[in-house]
Structure 1
Amino acid sequence: MLAAGHAAVDFYQGAVPALVPFLVMERGYGYVAVSGVVLAATLLSSIVQPLFGVLTDRRRMPWLIPVSMIVSGAGVAAGGVAGSYALTLLAVALSGLGVAAYHPESARLARLASEGSHVRMSWFSLGGTLGFASAPVLVTPLLAVWGLGASPWLALPAVLGALATLPAVRALSGGGAVARAAAAPVSGRDDWPSFARLTLVIVFRSVVYVGLSTFVALHLGGGAAGAVALFTLFAGGAVGTVLGGRLAARWGRVRTMRLAYALAVPAVAGVVFVPGPAAYVFVAASSIALYAPFSLHVTLGQDFLPARVGTASGVTLGLAVSVGGLVSPLVGAVAEAASLRTALACLVAFPVLAWLLARTLREPS
């Protein structure tokens, strides 16, 4: 149930990039303008999400999960029909606020439900990845036929996700043994230096992934070809998420993370420089490599900060899908000043930086 809810809320993370080609076609927005839309959806989320994590460390707020889903859906639905660029930015920012409110509390409950298992936590993360992957499949056909005026229908997944999640939220926050375990104090020493390095790894990963999700559709031609590229990018993430959990159970989280980022370097380069249909293979490979450590970031962060699970979740799970949007306008500016290929080529440096920094991390004791 928690994975289903995660799918519903992260659908709106994928819906914003899926809106980009239609904002370009119907409203004539340029690269910088659509980068600003992505920025609006992620900036508020990036800043506020750790604050929600601090709040959930101090006070349990399970009601925040369904409410944040509704807010996320309402923001994207309104963004497609907003009458001006400013209102579009405000609407998608509202969606980002909902995403920010959702993740820390849901990650805390998911950690409880998964009982510390990397594989089980990867299934929770898989829900979010599938939400990403489903966005272009649902958004593109809907808007291709009826245009941006059909955007209010995009609020429906939020309503369904909230209804699906309510039973799990009640079970994990009621008065039973599971809920009492959730309220029990957690002892352990917080390793802030390791957590800070992990956070930088997530930032580097986020820059390259959000850059790809924003511009890969346009890079490969837009329209149906672009929708296929986005679906390939997001669906590859589903494979990577499950694969990462299983590899971590066998080899350890840090070793798996290092391998994933090493493989991401040639994969991202292939997206940029390999022409024709073969580029889709590299899109899938990039997504798998960038998503293999996705759930591992969350559990590593929680283990580095065992007394502040909400804070760790707000930073790791939030930054993993949001902070890259802060750099997205710079990628758009490079694309307009030089070319889109040049802008995407700059992204190759970030998995290199993530790999180098991941080599400094060790498994928490």
Structure 2
Amino acid sequence: MNRLSSSVRIPAAPETGKTVYPILLMISATHLLNDMMQSVIPAVYPLLKARFGFSFAQIGIITLVFQMTSSLLQPVMGTLADRHPRPYSLALGMCFTLAGLLLLSVAPGFAAILLAVALVGWGSSVFHPESSRVAQLASGGRKGLAQSIFQVGGNTGSAAGPLLAALVVIPFGQRAIGWLALAALLAIFILIRIGRWYKRRLRTAARRAAAETSAPAPGLTRRKIRTALLILTVLVFSKYFYIASMTNYFTFFLMEKFSMSVQHSQYCLFAFLAASAAGTLIGGPVGDRFGRKYVIWGSILGAAPFTLLLPYASLPWTIVLSVVIGVVISSAFSAILVYATDLMPGKVGMIAGVFFGLMFGLGGLGSAFFGWLADRTSIEFIFRVSTLLPLLGVITGFLPDIEGKRIKS
């Protein structure tokens, strides 16, 4: 594995070349495969709970280990990706995911399951920061579009995971998780091809690295940048704590309130996650055109009316509201990530690592917290509490208008 110069960075200013759609589609496809494999983990919670007799708190701990492993390592891996890009590290990281899935398919108990999900989390920590760099290198300056294409692959994969679990894993049992090794092998093959392009592209970037800078966004002091990043962190918290309640406990909510079967509840979770994928694809291009701040505001605060209604709705309206919530609330992440990279140009890997890490880490904490709370109250209670989280979107108004500053500068 070749080690490239530590001075290689993505340019602070957007490139005006052509958008490399084949690379964006390939990195999106591998994101689909990566997140599809990962999303099978929460989708098989009912199966694992029934087989091993786990409590909701133990289910939360499994998610916490998986997502904290990923979140703690991602900023480190992102910083390393900025300083020492390694084109084939993406394929290597997928090998950890492969090992984790194979172990999960034969895990005999709680400790082995924790090790298996930790390996999958490790693979994720390598994949997301480095692949975000690839997406921006292939963007041709259309960073919101590129991030959305990349991100929609992940959301589509997250939506496909529960469907795959309902069709394959739930009927055939824990060992059927091993069949996902085929998806991991396909992803490794694609990532090797991406690595070849990435290697050539980094050589081009290295030749002009001396002319690149990592200056702060125009007109913003370091204090304002830190404040903006703190606001974005709170927004990510509100978004992913809420999504944790939906992703990990929506099936249990439907089963408890409406006496729905495990398999049919997985189809409803698939509908929510598929809607989330559609929302992700919308958010990036809209942010490029009208401003990312407005997308963030409309996405998180705009979801609040629907989340507040969901716990009190009938079954048909519950499904409709979950789809609307998925579309609205999921349009924010691409805008948040690109907005953050505009605040700190030249540090795409680090910023992607931090925010993907926050996404996984806060999701894990949310899952553990809501699992603990469900054991002491009820599933319906945690859904009534979590509906308040999108109201935090109101603080988006305190974000600086950096797109307007760039236009004026």
Structure-2-length-normalised TM-score? 0.84
Q: Among 369, 385, 393, which residue is 1:346 paired with?
A: 385
The CA deviation at 1:272 is: 2.0
The CA deviation at 1:21 is: 1.3
Aligned to 1:167: 193
Moved over 6 A (4+): none
Q: Does 1:97 align with 2:122?
A: yes
- Residues 168-215 of structure 1, C-alpha deviations (whole Å, 9 max, x = no match): 221122267755479664432163332222122112211111221000
Structure 2's unaligned 5+ residue stretches are 1-25, 217-221, 256-260
Q: Does 1:72 align with 2:97?
A: yes
Q: Among 128, 142, 156, which residue is 1:130 paired with?
A: 156
In structure 2, do the counterparts of structure 1 residues 316 and 308 end up closer, same or farther at CA, with 3 Å as the change threshold?
Answer: same
Q: Among 147, 157, 171, which residue is 1:121 paired with?
A: 147
Aligned to 1:202: 236
What amino acid sits opposite 1:119 in the alignment?
A: L
Aligned to 2:29: 4
Q: Does 1:330 align with 2:369?
A: yes
**Structure 1: distance between partners of 2:352 and 2:29:** 18
1:6–1:127 Cα contact (<8 Å) kept: yes
What amino acid sits opposite 1:195 in the alignment?
A: L
Aligned to 2:248: 214
In structure 2, do the counterparts of structure 1 residues 267 and 130 end up closer, same or farther at CA, with 3 Å as the change threshold?
Answer: same
Structure-1-length-normalised TM-score? 0.94
1:208–1:348 Cα contact (<8 Å) kept: yes
Q: Does 1:316 align with 2:316?
A: no
1:205–1:350 Cα contact (<8 Å) kept: yes
Write the mapping of 1:177-188 to structure 2, written as runs, cut at 5 A.
179-180=205-206, 185-188=212-215
SS in 2 for 1:165: helix
What amino acid sits opposite 2:87 in the alignment?
A: P
Write the mapping of 1:1-365 to structure 2, written as runs, cut at 5 A.
1-117=26-142, 118-174=144-200, 179-180=205-206, 185-189=212-216, 191-221=225-255, 222-353=261-392, 355-364=393-402, 365=406
**Structure 2: distance between partners of 1:348 and 1:341:** 11
**Structure 2: distance between partners of 1:121 and 1:175:** 18
What amino acid sits opposite 1:148 in the alignment?
A: Q
2:236–2:358 Cα contact (<8 Å) kept: yes
After TM superposition, the structure 1 stretch with the greater mean CA deviation from structure 2, 160-169 or 108-117, is 160-169
The CA deviation at 1:67 is: 1.4
2:170–2:263 Cα contact (<8 Å) kept: no
**Structure 2: distance between partners of 1:116 and 1:30:** 48
SS in 1 for 2:315: coil
**Structure 2: distance between partners of 1:93 and 1:102:** 14
After TM superposition, the structure 1 stretch with the greater mean CA deviation from structure 2, 141-150 or 89-98, is 141-150
What amino acid sits opposite 2:367 in the alignment?
A: S
Q: Which has the larger radius of gyration?
A: 2
In structure 2, do the counterparts of structure 1 residues 74 and 104 end up closer, same or farther at CA, with 3 Å as the change threshold?
Answer: same
